[in-house]
Amino acid sequence: MASLDDLARAPSLGRYVRSGWARDDARARAAWVLAVEVSATLMADVRFASVFEAPGRAGRTSDNKTAIARKLACYLAVIVADCPVTCVAKASGLNRKTVDGHLTAVEDWREEEAWDAVIEAASRELVGMAAQVVFGALALVHPGEVAA
């Protein structure tokens, strides 16, 4: 069985790990999960699973509230969490063009004062959730240790 060091030295995987893409993918997955939670909660009647499920999977719905929540989740993950569009596309199971379309739609919504207030509140909620995750992880580090 190959060790992690052996895998990291493999030409393609090594480039992937050293380039930071793996870190971007992991950050985008975390941002996507938190953004889905925020947007599904905001849309009251929308279940987390219906927003989170990848295209073509059983349980993925296309009702208007779910579509709005999914668009908002993409916006939060890319714009607020500052994740690359390609990584959010991979994390969400959507393609890059669809994520770009979602970003454009939400930017258009921001022109209306009421939507802008909702999006600002969702952005603050996402930042708050991310802070809770970070501080929770830091609490698990023993004094004298360095967090990985």
Q: What is the pLDDT of residue 110?
A: 93
Q: What is the pLDDT of residue 61?
A: 53
Q: What is the pLDDT of residue 60?
A: 53
* Digit-coded pLDDT (tens) for 121-132: 999 999 988 888
User: Quick check: 106 pLDDT over 70?
Assistant: yes
Smallest CA-to-CA distance from 92 within 53, 41, 42, 34 is with 53
Smallest CA-to-CA distance from 71 within 30, 38, 45, 44 is with 38
User: Quick check: 19 pLDDT over 80?
Assistant: no
* Digit-coded pLDDT (tens) for 70-105: 999 999 999 999 999 999 999 998 999 999 999 999
DSSP-assigned letters across all residues of 74-124: HHIIIIIS---HHHHHHHHT--HHHHHHHHHHHHHHTTSHHHHHHHHHHHH
**Residue 148 and residue 137: Cα distance in Å, rounded?**
10
**Over the chain, what is the mean pLDDT?**
78
Of residues 5 and 29, more confidence is placed in: 29
User: Quick check: 25 pLDDT over 80?
Assistant: yes
Least confident of 15-19, 25-29, 136-140: 15-19
- What are the tokens at 16? 């992937």
pTM for the whole structure: 0.74
Q: What is the pLDDT of residue 84?
A: 93
* Digit-coded pLDDT (tens) for 27-63: 899 999 899 889 888 887 676 666 666 554 544 556 7
